[in-house]
Structure 1
Amino acid sequence: MKISLIDNNVRRTLQNDVICKIRDLINAKNLERGDKLPSERIMSEKFDVKRNHIREAIRKLEFYGVLKSMSQSGTILAIGLTGFNGIVDEIVSLDKPSFNELVETRISLELKIVRLAAKRRTETDLNKIKEALNAFKDKISVGEDYLEEDLLFHLAIAKASKNSTMVSLMLLLTPPILSTYERDAVCEGDKVISEIAKHENIYLAIESKDVEQATKMMNEHFYKLTKHIEN
């Protein structure tokens, strides 16, 4: 199942309805951590919904760590009932994030990522970052759309951080940012030379393992975007 931060309202409503039914069933059975849930078929019949809707709801709850699917033995409650109920309440109350919220999260994450990348990068990482940088430069230099190459450059830096959780978060944030990017407002007046220089400066700081300079360069890269979401 694809986990998305920007599901449409109809899908989100349906999924949340099934999640609430699963929650109510777990509470009615007074399950404890490690206890097995009824099968997808049984829940599908009980809730009168398609099995794929049950499966998607379970996968989402797995994503948040409150359920766990065990090979050959079904799905179990991964945490205690009190914690499960509290987290499910938060899951179903989540709103679709705005562009500004997505970008705010990305900036905070990347400022930490670039520090780790500057400390931990390998020569292989540098080569990957350089490849992404060159692809970005090739596109922006001839006036072509470079947004995807830009984000791949940042993903290469994330991989150099050696923190798989941060890479996963970047992968989760990237598609909705791509689909909701307010290009006219954010990119107005950008200069090719200065944009290339910002990316090159980040790369050079990571190459030299200068943590503070890498953080400074990433901050400068995000300056205009930060001002945009503050206004």
Structure 2
Amino acid sequence: MIRIDANRKLRDFTLDVKLTAESGETLVLMGNNGSGKTTVLNLVAGLMTPDYGNIEADGKKMFSSEEGIDVPPERRHVGYVFQNYALFPHMSVFDNVAFGLRTRKTPEDKVRHKVREELEPVGMWELKDVKAAKLSGGQKQKVALARSLVIRPTVLLMDEPLSALDARTHAMVRDSLQVRLRKDKITTVVVLHSLCDALALGDKACVMDRGQVVLSGKPGDILKQGQGQFVDNLFG
């Protein structure tokens, strides 16, 4: 479970959100560019700090302005799939996935075992020695997800994980991601623009506008709740 109650003054507006995802749920954040979605992910990851509020996962506080708690990013046990995947291009597939384990001083024999566990089911083990720069978009997405999951995160964050994929690969990777999230019951917060993707991946969804949650509910109910030009423009 993750609970987010955070306030952060940004350049154009103040982000003020209260969000909850139960254990194993996928919470989808939607909204126009610049609405504060990625900021929410960065606050959870510890890459940005709220002005005040509370963020907790599985009952453990990662941030509390009242109690003076601000757990460093490397100790939050959060997996993060960035929009551009943020792989190390000069490093192999294996070394990219192993990176988080090695920074945590995991013994090398366990590193190999855990990396293989992530790469083999998605057909990437045979490419373990290939440099990340030579991978296709779908392959990069698989490696980025494996790198985030291999540390067994308490919470998985994903920022537009499907946006860089062509139409054919998009559907294939989305279906694979859906199966993985359901199978492992990973508590996830994911930023998406497509309502179709939200319907496939999300247990609940929130629509944000200028740092505020303006709609929330199950993805299939969002359109029923939404009225007016804002929602029409957002979903076409």
Q: Same fold (TM over 0.5)?
A: no
Higher strand share: 2
Greater relative contact order (Cα < 8 A, sep 6+): 2
Higher helix share: 1
Larger radius of gyration: 1
TM-score bucket (shorter structure):
under 0.3
